[in-house]
Amino acid sequence: MYHKPIAIGAEAVLYLEDWLGLTVLVKERVPKGYRRAEFDNYIRRLRTINEVRAMLRARELGVPVPKIYDVDLVNMRIRMEYLNGTPLVRLLMDNEELDDLIINYIRTMGNYIGILHRNGIVHGDPTPANALIVNNDKLYLIDFGLSEILGRAPNAQDIRMLYKLALDLNVTLRSFEALRKDQSRLLFTEFLNGYKGAMGPELTGRVESIVNRIRRMVRYAVR
C-alpha cells in the first residue's frame, strides 16, 4: 500500500509502506523529465545500486545503518528499515549549549565516517541531517544516495583518493558552519577526534590539510 510521502528530495521520494507485515521506508528514485529516458534510467539504476552496496558494506563494517529488505531495480525502489528517531541536526538547532551528549554524538558520527573512509567508502552527504538518534542513544547514518565505493583503502600518498575524502569532510564542515557558525570549528574538531579513531592520526592530518586547502581555494575564487 502506497502512503503519503514523508519526504521529497532532489532525486527521490520517501514514503512508508506496509510490506509483508512490516512498516518499511521506501526510497523511490523518480524519473526526471529533463533527461533522456535511457540516460535517466541508467543514472537512477546506478545510484540505487551504489546506495545499496554502500549501506550493505557499512553494516559489514559495524556502522549502524538501516537494514535493507528489498531492492527493486525496475522501479528504482529500496525498501529498508524504518527508524523513527531524531536527526542530530535537530539537537544542534534546539540546544544552545553543546553539552557532553551532543559532543559525543558528533564524535561518534566522525568515527563512523572514518570507518567508511578507511575502507574506501565516501558517504557523499555526511551532515548532521543524515545522522539519526534512535531510542535516545544509538546513532545511525542514513541517506547514502550520493555514496561512492572507491574500491581500495586510502594511503598517505594517494592524493586523488584523499582529495575525495576531503571533499566529503568539507561537506560536514560547511554544514556545521550553516548550523553553528561561531562553534563550527569546535564541532569539526570533535568530529575529527572521532574520525581519527578510525583513520589514524597520519591520514586524518593529510585529509584535514586538504580540506583547509580546498577552503582557501574557494575563498580565493570568490574574491
Domains, the chain, ranges and CATH?
Answer: 2-81 (3.30.200.20), 86-222 (1.10.510.10)
Q: What is the pLDDT of residue 223?
A: 41
The answer to whether 27 touches 8, Cβ cutoff 8 Å, is no
CA-wise closest residue to 52 among 143, 165, 166, 155: 143
Give the position of cell 555514496. 147
Nearest to 113 by CA among 86, 77, 141: 141
Between CA 9 and CA 19, with CA 14 as vertex, the angle to 5 degrees is 165
Rounded Cα–Cα distance for residues 55 and 7 (Å): 20
State the pLDDT at residue 218: 62
> For residue 180, which phi and psi values (nearest 5 degrees)?
-140, 75
Q: Choose among 33, 220, 194: nearest CA to 113.
A: 194
Cell numbers at residue 139, please?
546513532
Q: What is the mean pLDDT of residues 10-23?
A: 91
pLDDT, position 97: 87
> What pLDDT, on the 0 to 100 scale, is given for residue 11?
83
> What pLDDT is stored for residue 2 in this prediction?
54
Please report which confidence band the pLDDT of residue 219 belongs to, taking 50, 70 and 90 as the band edges. Answer: low
Considering the entire predicted model, what is its pTM?
Answer: 0.93
Mean pLDDT of the chain: 92
Q: Which of 18, 40, 100, 125 is catalytic?
A: 125
- The whole-number pLDDT of residue 51 equals 97
CA–CA gap between residue 123 and residue 145 (Å, rounded) = 8
Mean pLDDT, range 69-87, rounded to an integer: 96
Lowest mean pLDDT, pick from 100-109, 161-170, 212-221: 212-221
pLDDT digits (tens, 9 = 90+) for 104-161: 999 999 999 999 999 999 999 999 999 999 998 999 999 999 999 998 999 989 999 9
Tell me if 140 sits within 8 A of 64, measured CB to CB: yes
- The predicted model gives 20-40 an average pLDDT of 89
- Indicate the DSSP class of residue 89: H
- Judged by DSSP in three states, 149 sits in strand
Tell me whether residue 70 is one of the annotated catalytic residues. no
Residue 72 φ then ψ, to 5°: -115, 100
Helix (H) or strand (E) holding 29: strand 22-29
